């Protein structure tokens, strides 16, 4: 199993540009989580899906952020327009329940820099 695959690994863009981050979860996992990590705020949960349906998006910072999961093998996190304060590492994690517990497997992350 290749694990959770995220792309791009690094993205440098200018303020105002659209950014799309991609995630391929582990086959068979029915949960997908998007997190953002910064030095100041740590690892924040943005949104998570169950069976491709968004369950809780209360962590999405504002309307500039949107996430989709069109099928079980693909999810995107889009920022439009991007701002310098969006600079962070964005992690995708997938999971399946083991005895009721969500055992998360993380991707390597996408490091976003907005100039």
Which residues here bind another protein, judged by CB under 8 A? Answer: 4, 31, 33, 35, 42-43, 45, 48, 50, 55-56, 91, 93, 99-109
Closest CB to another protein among residues 93, 112: 93
Find the shortest distance in angstroms from Cβ 79 to another protein: 20
Closest CB to another protein among residues 81, 106: 106
Q: How far is residue 9 from each of residues 30, 36, 55, 75, measured CA to CA in Å?
A: 23, 14, 26, 15
What tokens were used for 105?
């497997």
């Amino acid at each position: 199993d290749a694990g959770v695959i995220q792309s791009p690994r690094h993205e440098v863009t200018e303020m105002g540009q659209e950014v799309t981050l991609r995630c391929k979860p582990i086959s068979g996992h029915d949960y997908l989580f998007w997190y953002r990590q910064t030095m100041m705020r740590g690892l924040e949960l943005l949104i998570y899906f169950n069976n491709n349906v968004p369950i809780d998006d209360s962590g999405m910072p504002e309307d500039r952020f949107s996430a989709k999961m069109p099928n079980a093998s693909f999810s995107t996190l889009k920022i439009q327009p991007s701002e310098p304060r969006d600079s962070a590492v964005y992690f995708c994690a997938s999971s399946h329940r083991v005895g009721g517990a969500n055992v998360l497997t993380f991707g390597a992350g996408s490091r976003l820099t907005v100039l």
